[in-house]
Amino acid sequence: MTMQFNTETFRDDYSFRNSDWAIRRFPFPFHEDSYMYSVNMEQHRGGPEGSVYEKRFDVDEHYVSEMHDRALVLAEDPLRCQSLPHMTLAGWDLLELIMVSKSEDYPDLFELHRDGNQWRWINKPLGIDDTFTFLDETTLPYGPMEYITRQTQGDFAVLDQREENLWMDAGMVTTQADWSLDFDIGMNFFEWHAPVPRAHEMGIFKRALKFLLNVQQGSPARRLNWTMTVNPRLDTSPENYHKWGVEKTTLTPENIGAKQHLRVELQTFFRLPRSNALVFPIRCYLIAFQDIVTVPKWGRRLHRVVRDLPEDLADYKGFIANRPLMLDYLSQYDDGLPTSPGVWPDLETEPPLQK
């Protein structure tokens, strides 16, 4: 195996760290110096070599530790993975999509061998070598969706398409930004997005649903979403708010660079072949403020976005109380120089910070 995997935690002592490689490839979500909701969909047809967009399902240095954290969450709360009875075929579709994608995109890490319905799956990083019968649940240790999403970074919402709407009828959700699968299971697209401010009045969700209903097999789409998290905690669920909510009160001028994290979701959308369901992977990436500001363009831009974000959006994204502290820190890395358009670091062309 060519990739080196970190041994790290996303709870308790929070030993999670990004390498320089992980910092440079972080999916920074702001293409300009301000932010407002938009549909911001594009085709998921790869991206620059080494970027998080290059492969269908990104695997990085955090893979093994993220899968360990998922197992801990499921042991504490099995309802983080649910599938309504009619979604079993969609689970097999998802298993096939991920196994084929990973074995093709990372052949040194994953292997898939198929002889009719007799399949052998080898996951080298996790030490898994299983043989099973495709479409026969009795030959797997878990249902097909749970089996493969225990081995895949990010959350997964599996959406049934009917009545000109999308219904969240299955999912694996252990790295979410303050929403609950157990609460949302069985809801439609508008119901589970009900808490989001401004976007309904702006017509964002009507346009997004129209786009998603027309996603075709073989033409996946993607977008980015973002919020803020104190400490690199993956599981910021409502069920565990008593554990992570209080951490927002622990920021100081001395520790904010290390403790405050930008949390970005790479959201992708794949049409599944047999069930016609739409799978919605939500891959979470975390980066500390002190790492963001090592990229001059990102440091300048994040300060401007946080400073100018409307109050209701800052409140919804959970950092309104800590915004003054954030701005005091980030202002040190904004010298007022213009930034180049787009999300890339542009380290070769962006001027260094002018002290």
**321-341: pLDDT as tens digits:** 999 999 999 999 999 999 999
Query: Pick the residue with more confidence: 206 or 146?
Result: 146
198 found inside a domain: yes
Pairing of strands 278-288, 155-162: antiparallel
Structural domain boundaries enclosing 94 = 20-36+57-333
Q: Assess if residue 350 is contained within a domain.
A: no
| Structure confidence at residue 1 (pLDDT) | 60
Q: Given a cut of 70, is residue 199 above it in pLDDT?
A: no
The pLDDT assigned to 196 comes to 75
pLDDT tens digit sequence for 81-103: 999 999 999 999 999 999 999 99
pLDDT band at 192 (very low <50, low <70, confident <90, very high): confident
pLDDT at 203 over 90: no
- State residue 325's pLDDT score: 98
Summary count for the chain: helices (H), strands (E): 13, 10
Decide if pLDDT at 257 tops 90. yes
Q: How confident is the model at residue 200 (pLDDT cuts 50, 70, 90)?
A: low
H/E stretch holding 291 reads helix 289-292
Mean pLDDT for 277-297 is 98
Range scoring the smallest mean pLDDT among 231-235, 283-287, 314-318: 314-318
pLDDT at residue number 321: 95
Q: Is residue 329 part of a domain?
A: yes
Sorting pLDDT into bands at 50, 70 and 90, what band is 54? very high
- In a domain? residue 279: yes
Task: Compute CA distances 78 → 81, 142, 240, whole Å.
Answer: 6, 12, 14
Residue 293 lies in a domain: yes
Question: How far apart, in Å, are the Cα atoms of 6 and each of 3, 15, 18, 148?
Answer: 10, 10, 9, 21
d(C-alpha 281, C-alpha 220), whole Å: 11
Residue type, 149: T
Over residues 269-293, the mean pLDDT reads 98
| CA–CA separation, 213 and 167 (whole Å) | 11
On the question of pLDDT at 284 being above 80, the answer is yes
Domain count, the chain: 1
Residues serving a catalytic function are 223
Taking each helix axis as running N to C, give the angle between helix 323-330 and helix 296-308, from 0 to 180 degrees, rounded to the nearest 10. 150
**Does residue 221 lie within any of the structural domains?**
yes
In a domain, 277, yes or no: yes
Q: Percent of the chain at pLDDT above 70?
A: 99
Position 221 scores a pLDDT of 96
In-domain check, residue 11: no
Confidence of residue 204 (pLDDT cuts 50, 70, 90): confident
Compute the average pLDDT of residues 5-21. 98
Mean pLDDT across the stretch 146-161?
98
